[in-house]
Amino acid sequence: MGDFRPRTVWLGHPEKREQRYPKNVINNQKYNFFTFLPGVLFNQFKYFFNLYFLLLSCSQFVEELRLGALYTYWVPLGLVLFITIMREAIEEIRCYLRDKEVNSQVYSRLSTRGTVKVKSSSIQVGDLIIVEKNQRVPADMIFLRTSERNGSCFLRTDQLDGETDWKLRLPVACTQRLPTAADLLQIRSYVYAEEPNIDIHNFIGTFTREDGDPPVNESLSIENTLWASTVVASGTVVGVVIYTGKELRSVMNTSNPRHKVGLFDLEVNCLTKILFGALVVVSLVMVALQHFAGRWYLQIFRFLLLFSHIVPISLRVNLDMGKMVFSWMIKKDSKIPGTVVRASTIPEQLGRISYLLTDKTGSTALHALCSLSKRFTGASKSSSKMGAYVK
């Protein structure tokens, strides 16, 4: 794996790599095959609401506390867990398919045997990659050549920095002057690049051609870079890969996938604690009315079980089903085509939006949020507030 230090990258010569670099694989999944079930169960039972029903069901294995058949407690809990696990599984599968699509995109690589096709996941540091117009840049690269007559190209960077205006990029001067792209393999040259970091707006490096007379040295800046997740908007470009996998600027600026919990879920969890406290008080009162006779401590637990339906387990089912329906409605909404629901655990949060501060590049997203907020709340108050910022 990469050790986050400056590196010397020789153009098109993999045998000269000085160290191992991470594979150019994009992975946005929260779990893998082995951690899925433990991870989902942990994320469910770390909150009091679900833990309460788990302890309630487990108490029925104690003969002195049993109030009915086991299935009356375990079937509802199992239904809740089944719905949650299925929802998480569907999201993980969709995430896996999205990652697979990105990792399987085919690019052209310059080699001594000519131009060969290679998947994005197989691209390595030092490879010379050809990126066509409207094609996503598969890795962080230094811009070497372009087919444009003006000797430059433009990038769409909205998936990297959220800005919709195109960015101008310039190739390395001495490689742009070469007659053909294949000549890049005939020269003896390398790129010295800084260590990987999260700064997408700056870059420090040098390009050196040793077989020239005299040798050529050019300083490199952000204008000579092609960061991954950007899209080539003009012409065909050729670049040399300097960062891959977890060392990509886009990956380093992305937080690790995590289990998202909405404010409404936290409020329900808090209310459950309050109701449980009320159950304890009521149970103590009932035992006190019996003057704490006999095995009063056991009676407290039995009263807790008898009054446990004050906290309905059906609420958990309704919440999960509601989230799935909301996510489906968002995805199928004709007024916001192309919307992708990446997390079905927090769609109800859209109904809580009152203010959204953004610059001019966020206008499209802002209109979509206004529409969603109005649909969820059934009122236009919050939408009118947000709409004022669009103007």
**Catalytic residue ranges:** 359
Identity at 127, one-letter amino acid code: D
CA terminus-to-terminus distance, the chain:
48
3-state secondary structure of 232: strand
Identify the sign of the CA torsion 19, 20, 26, 31. negative
How far apart (Å, rounded) are the C-alpha atoms in residues 355 and 262?
Answer: 18
Summary count for the chain: helices (H), strands (E): 11, 13
* 244/140 Cα distance (integer angstroms): 7
Rounded to 5 degrees, what are φ and ψ at 188? Answer: -100, 100
Name, in order, each residue with C-beta under 8 angstroms of 55's C-beta and a sequence gap of 6 or more.
none
Cα–Cα distance for residue pair 179/145, rounded to 1 Å: 10
Q: Which residues contact 19 (CB under 8 A, 6 or more apart)?
A: 2, 3, 7
Residue pointed to by tokens 């446990």: 308
Tokens of 84: 């949650």
Give the 3-state secondary structure of 67-97. CCCCHHHHHHHHHHHHHHHHHHHHHHHHHHH
Place of tokens 């299925």: 86
- On whether the CB atoms of residues 280 and 56 are closer than 8 A, the answer is no
